[in-house]
A = this chain, B = another copy of it.
């Protein structure tokens, strides 16, 4: 085989267009390996690059197999928000796993020949991917590519939530969309490391799922007494840090309000300008694209901000990254086990009906692309 297919996303003034292009097989540089990609997940963090501010509810696809093209109009205000990427063909897919089928002349690259590795390099929705050998994570013998496909984004995000907590002097965490793959990993990490976590979910099935995992604090945002449940759990755990996957609406504000109400129960924690300890919520996702609304009824010691794994890792430094990656490889079948509901080809991933399904980001649903499946 001398060519392979790669998925590209392009935004123009006409809208979003995603397609597969045929590429020549790459020749690895001395320090590089070429990975035959066998499994690459569709994470919420991929949606940003894939779809940007397009209106996916109006997406259509044409053609079949390798010729399938997905098109969608831009959402209102989308164009001005995507100026920086206008006209660029962006490769998509943050992470994945596969077998090393070619390697450059460097010893380390050569040592990986034939091995199964996990990779976070971008452009993973493709049959093959050339990357520096140093960036690959060799998988244990027991692992399939499917097992190793999600080694980076979710595991490192969950681990880096805990790193952030420690770096910023907090001692417990509130997490929303807590029944997700990421949320389940975070619970396993917190249980192993003795950290209290308040899980916020929106359905009673999700309460049960987390209860079965041994989670101690689970709060259902659909319950009438959500604010009181949340305040009680925050009071019990002392959480002053939240990670919110929703982004839009008032969830971050509700968490800060509950933290403030919990502080008001604690003697000495309160001044006339509100509670004294810093309360922080990081928005790491955008399940809700609407504006974030903060009612600021929580004094002055609070913050809300974006949180992005690559930005955190860049600040945390190489030593931290190596330590965390080692833990992921060691606990791949336990702490960092992922579940997938659908395995699809590159072409199916551009089918408008399929796109609408995974774009819905339903908790429990998780799509895996296998670029080796026939187009």
Seen from chain A, the residues whose Cβ lies within 8 Å of a Cβ on chain B are: 48-49, 77, 80-81, 83-85, 90, 247-248, 253, 261, 264, 270-273, 276, 280, 283-284, 286, 291-297, 299-308, 310-311
A268 nearest CB across to chain B (Å): 12
Residue of B with least CB distance to A253: B291
- Report the separation of the CA atoms of residues A286 and B302 in the bound assembly, to the nearest whole angstrom: 14
- Report the separation of the CA atoms of residues A296 and B294 in the bound assembly, to the nearest whole angstrom: 13
Contact of A48 among B248, B273, B305, B310 (CB under 8 A): B273
Q: Kindly list 14 other residue pairs between chains A and B, CB separation below 8 angstroms, not including A248-B296, A276-B311.
A: A48-B273, A77-B297, A81-B297, A273-B310, A273-B311, A286-B296, A291-B295, A291-B296, A292-B294, A292-B295, A301-B306, A301-B308, A302-B306, A303-B306
A284 nearest CB across to chain B (Å): 8
Beyond A301-B311, A311-B300, is A48–B294 a contact (Cβ under 8 Å)?
A: no
Residue of B with least CB distance to A250: B291
- Report the separation of the CA atoms of residues A300 and B90 in the bound assembly, to the nearest whole angstrom: 19
- Some 29 contacts from A to B, beta carbons below 8 A apart, are A48-B272, A48-B273, A80-B297, A81-B297, A84-B264, A247-B296, A248-B296, A253-B291, A273-B310, A276-B311, A284-B300, A291-B293, A291-B296, A292-B294, A293-B293, A294-B294, A294-B304, A296-B306, A299-B306, A300-B306, A300-B307, A300-B308, A300-B311, A301-B308, A301-B311, A302-B306, A303-B305, A304-B304, A304-B305
Q: Chain B residues with Cβ under 8 A from A90's Cβ? A: 272
Top 5 A-B pairs ranked by shortest CB distance?
A: A303-B305, A300-B306, A300-B308, A292-B294, A84-B264
Q: Chain B residues with Cβ under 8 A from A83's Cβ? A: 261, 264
Q: Chain B residues with Cβ under 8 A from A310's Cβ? A: 271, 273
Q: Chain B residues with Cβ under 8 A from A276's Cβ? A: 311
Residue of B with least CB distance to A308: B300
Q: Chain B residues with Cβ under 8 A from A299's Cβ? A: 306, 308
A159 nearest CB across to chain B (Å): 18
Q: Chain B residues with Cβ under 8 A from A253's Cβ? A: 291
A314 nearest CB across to chain B (Å): 8
- Report the separation of the CA atoms of residues A135 and B292 in the bound assembly, to the nearest whole angstrom: 41
Is B303 in contact with A304, judged by CB distance below 8 angstroms?
yes
Of A48, A80, A291, A293, most buried by chain B (CB within 10 Å of CB) is A291
- Report the separation of the CA atoms of residues A264 and B85 in the bound assembly, to the nearest whole angstrom: 10
Residue of B with least CB distance to A270: B84
Q: Chain B residues with Cβ under 8 A from A304's Cβ? A: 294, 303-305
Is B272 in contact with A85, judged by CB distance below 8 angstroms?
yes
Is B292 in contact with A293, judged by CB distance below 8 angstroms?
yes
Of A48, A77, A311, most buried by chain B (CB within 10 Å of CB) is A311
- Report the separation of the CA atoms of residues A284 and B77 in the bound assembly, to the nearest whole angstrom: 29
Q: Chain B residues with Cβ under 8 A from A306's Cβ? A: 296, 299-303
- Report the separation of the CA atoms of residues A143 and B296 in the bound assembly, to the nearest whole angstrom: 39
- Report the separation of the CA atoms of residues A362 and B84 in the bound assembly, to the nearest whole angstrom: 39
Is B273 in contact with A308, judged by CB distance below 8 angstroms?
yes
Q: Chain B residues with Cβ under 8 A from A301's Cβ? A: 306, 308, 311
Contact of A49 among B80, B272, B292, B293 (CB under 8 A): B272
Q: Chain B residues with Cβ under 8 A from A85's Cβ? A: 272
